[in-house]
Amino acid sequence: MEAVYQLGNLRVVDLTKVLDPATESRRCHLIRYNTGGPIPDYHTALDLTSHLGTHCECPYHHFEDGKSVGDLPLTTFMGRAIYVNIDFLEPNAHISAADLDRACGDRIQEGDIVILDSNWKFPPFTPATNSPEDKRLFINAESAWWFRNHKVKCVGFGDGVSIENCEADVKPFHDILMEVDIVFLEVLKNLEQLSTDTFFMSYSALPIIGADSCPVRAYAIEGLAEFSR
């Protein structure tokens, strides 16, 4: 499936995992039916988990009183994005505040979307997760506080960073960031197709009150002057 498109002077990169109900490991069932009228009128009932494919996790995912997808403003799901590929750490290293300072410098602005990645890529959420072959980098409380102090709106993850390694790392990462309505964007694909590390990004979720997360169509638009520096 094509991942890069030209739209006038703009370059659009699809960052979404393509879903195939026949092979998807998470709940993904499509039930197609004809409403039965004289004119063929097919509908599809979607039986999906909220954490399917490329999805945006919101505070209600972690807190009983957190904001659900439908409670957050539309601008939560779009904005200036920075792709940060940390290529100087050893396998299974924790990403520290100093590492983020080194990788990001002074590029991060309030309200940014930050996509973390590394050269230690491994497919997430599979039976091989956390196996000896899984060399991805780890997040923890320290990296969470760095993002919170820099007032980002979203942290996204390429296949080079794990967010499922252990409770001691993952729980505080959620606690610290989702407490202030910072959302997570997981299972991003085609990041190697980006031609710049700064771009406009959208990953709009359906505004469903009570949904803790939602599958999204995530994409980057390169070439918008306001979001390119």
pLDDT tens by residue, 151-172: 999 999 999 999 989 999 999 9
- What is the residue-wise DSSP string for 183-209? EEEE-B--GGG-S-SEEEEE-PPP--T
Quick one: pLDDT band at residue 37, thresholds 50, 70, 90? confident
**pLDDT 10s digits, 93-142:** 999 999 999 999 899 999 999 999 999 999 888 888 889 999 999 999 99
What is the pLDDT confidence band of residue 87, given thresholds at 50, 70 and 90? very high
Does the pLDDT at position 195 exceed 90? yes
Under 8 Å between Cβ of 163 and 116: no
Query: Can you read off the two tokens belonging to residue 12?
Result: 């659009």
